Amino acid sequence: MNADDGEKHIADVKTVHGSVIEFQHSFITSEERLSRDNFYPKLVWVVDGLRRKRDKEQFFNALKDGVQITPNPMLMKIYTEESRILNEWSSSKVPVFFDFGEEQRNWWLLPFKEGGWSYIVPFSRQNFIDFNLGKTRDEFNSFLRNFIQSYKQLFNRIEANRRRQQVVINSRRRFLPNHVLRRSRRL
């Protein structure tokens, strides 16, 4: 396929439903990734998490240190800077799945972030295959829209609560004696 500027794009997989799957093993610049994100209307990335020696270790350490938002489906909030692969792909606006060689699952990087945090969900390999073969496409699209909308609302509520708590903390500090404030800053 050719872009408006004449640049040629060759998809790794194009499904009968018009989805494009790019399997990314080698290095890709953020500019090239953005170009593909914008070129293909239904793009999905599958990123090789074993390409560099430390990617898997960094990802799972960040996951271990992350915050579980919901148990089912498990949604994790992970600090993006703790993992090079997360840092490189967190700006993508299309679905990104990390493949760390696990037999049963990939890790889905949700296409939104909050400050320096990214959101990750384990995703069954079989569901990924079924979805891209069109077996569960309508159900999955509906699930995906509802899932993202629900979590955006949840994130907004969490952030609003955090801001309210910060206001309360700051307002209480005005009434503390100076020696208490100096000591709390040292802690």
- Token digits for 106? 């990939």
Q: What is the structure's pLDDT at 83?
A: 93
The predicted pLDDT at position 153 comes to 75
Which residue, among 49, 62, 168, has the nearest Cα to 97 in the 3D structure? 49
d(CA 77, CA 98): 16
List of the chain residues with pLDDT < 70: 1-9, 135-148, 151, 155, 168-187
User: Amino acid letter at 162?
Assistant: R
C-alpha to C-alpha distance for 60 and 82, rounded to whole angstroms: 10
Which helix or strand (DSSP H or E) is residue 44 part of?
A: strand 43-48
Q: What is the pLDDT of residue 135?
A: 66
Cα(71)–Cα(176) distance, integer angstroms: 39
